[in-house]
Amino acid sequence: MERERGYWGCSAREICRANGFADRVEFIKGLSTRVDLPERVDVVVADQIGRFGFEAGLLDYFTDARKRFLKPGGVMIPSRVDLCVAPVECPEMRDQVEFWNNSSVGFNLRPARSLAVNTGYPVQLRAEHLLGDPVSAASLNLAAEIAAPLSFETSIVAKRTGSLHGIGGWFSAQLSDNVIMSNSPLAMHRINRMNVFFPINRPVELAKGDSVRIMMQIVPAELIVTWKVEVWGEAEKHQGQERPVKKAGFTHSTFQGMLVSREDLQKTQPHFIPKLSPWGEARRSVVNLCDGRKTLSEIEQETYRLHPELFPSLGKAAEFVAEVVTRYSV
């Protein structure tokens, strides 16, 4: 499927033509979940994976394609996506979080730190950032129904001493029996895609042999990730029994890092009675004017006439109309 915007559709056509495939490829413009195919297909292939394996609509798009497009016994590429995690020592990302506590611009920016420490950051992790061996914590079989939210728990033993700054995340995608695509910092043929850094509230000094327990819950549709991290040291004797010592524990969530105002939250309540803003009214005008009879020029002029307070010129009205029409018209 072509993307709704950007240059990919044009480039794909030209590449097919340049390689002699123009007579064998049919392009259908539109979001895959909003188009229909004339027949079912043998293969569904897409790179809707994101940095940590789910963020780019992977589950929604593949679930829909499997149900509506794929023949029985057809192939999904990738067939499986694994979500991988590891404890990391990454001072540059730690500094990015602590910037809000150490601002030198003359203002107190500390309130913003609570958002910063509940945010997942794109980062290019390297092997030296890892404090322990990575673990494939969750495996998503794209040929089967996947229940949301996604949850997993794993423990990783520290392979060296260092400061635990957070958890690193990336993916490994199974393209065929012998082909894997991954943005892992340990991959021999790593693709050029960022990883994700999930910070913890304060650094924890790890000793070799300490255990880092990682618990995550992911709501893919809302892009919400909650991560809990516990650090356990070597066992100590207590009343004749050896018990591991808990050195630290943290809970974070991207939900707590969202810039959502109280007013916006109120609009999500079941009892809220919505009313269109002036811009919403303008969008409705454009949609109503797309009646299958009016030309684009007529729609632009009528929108400009109906909403003079929003558009300083006919040209600005035309830009607004174009955004609505290209998205919703056929």
User: In terms of Cα–Cα distance, which of 297, 289, 300, 279 is closest to 329?
Assistant: 289
Q: What is the pLDDT of residues 295-312, one digit of tens each?
A: 999 999 999 999 999 999
pLDDT class of 6 with cuts at 50, 70, 90? very low
- Backbone region of residue 278 per phi and psi (left: phi > 0; alpha: psi in -120 to 50; beta: other values): alpha
3-class DSSP state of 210: coil
| Residues paired with 196 in a beta bridge | 122, 169
Listed in sequence order, the residues at least 6 apart from 144 whose beta carbon sits closer than 8 Å to its beta carbon are: none
CB within 8 Å of 90: residues ≥ 6 apart:
123, 125, 129, 165, 166, 168, 197
Alpha carbon 151 to its chain centroid, in Å, reads 16
Q: Name every residue whose Cβ is closer than 8 Å to that of residue 326 and which is 6 or more positions away in sequence.
A: 4
* pLDDT for residue 249: 95
Q: How confident is the model at residue 107 (pLDDT cuts 50, 70, 90)?
A: confident
**Mean per-residue pLDDT over the chain, rounded:** 90
> What's 294's DSSP letter?
S
